[in-house]
Amino acid sequence: MTFPRYAPDLVPGTVTLVGGGPGDPGLLTLAGFEAVRQADVILYDRLAPTAVLDEAPEAEKIRVGKVPGGEYVPQERINELLVAHARAGERVVRLKGGDSFVFGRGGEEWQACAAAGVPVRIIPGVTSSVAGPELAGIPLTHRHMVQGFTVVSGHVAPGDSRSELDWGQLARCGTTLVILMGVAHIQQISADLMAGGLAADTPVAVIRQASLPDQSVLTSTLAEVADAMARSGVRPPAITVVGDVAGLDLDHTEAADRTPSDH
């Protein structure tokens, strides 16, 4: 059987936004892999599968990552670099972790390129919001338990003037809650979710370094997860899953012990 090919040759003077998946190079799509190999210039994030950069030995590699409390390249500068290299006639790849349109600012980069007259192509990526829990054995939906999941960013604390989320409403939405970039504010997030009606013993799982060799999972409850994360020294990147599915033990087909643990 012959399958259609999603990744034709890259065109000089264009930008291709490539979602790199959760981190393991094996989870980069074939189309994304081929785009990297053809690139003249690659702008990449720290969470992108950087091992694949070796597949483009002649390409110029520009690190434009954002490290919490450290290295930071403003989004405006990233936009400028994309446009400048494309206008120079180069085949530009923007390689990100996860998917470009799930908290990846891919929409902003597309807009900047479009405003400058630079054509853009999208190659979707495996989003870490789904892949991370899945690799930890956590189904975000499960028949007779939960009928949906909600993905939010926790990089802004509840109550902050920049926050656009109503954590009380999220507590009552009845779906699995997946929180990205929420490590720094997990204490306040947990408090707001409990104030909104979620039970203190609601299972919580925190997946660290999803898909990478040092991946680990911390399991706890909503009332205790902040202290458990502090004791374990959890640092970003980490994905927090809140809901009954976070307490599943698929190997034994029963709800896992809700006592906080680190395994």
DSSP label at 221?
E
> Which candidate in 45, 96, 99, 192 is catalytic?
45
Q: Quick check: helix, strand or coil at residue 36?
A: helix
Is 66 one of the catalytic residues?
Answer: yes
Residues 6+ apart with CB under 8 A from 222: 190, 193, 194, 198, 199, 200, 201, 202, 203, 204, 242
CA–chain centroid gap for 238, Å, is: 9
Q: How far is CA 166 from CA 95, 100, 148, 160, 183, in A?
A: 32, 25, 18, 11, 18
Task: Check if 96 is active-site.
Answer: no
Tokens for 33, please give them.
């892999």
Q: Is 61 a catalytic residue?
A: no
Ramachandran quadrant class, 13 (left: phi over 0; alpha: psi -120 to 50; beta: rest)? left
| From 40, 181, 192, 229, the catalytic residue | 181
Catalytically annotated residue among 61, 66, 227, 262: 66
- Tell me the catalytic residues: 45, 66, 181
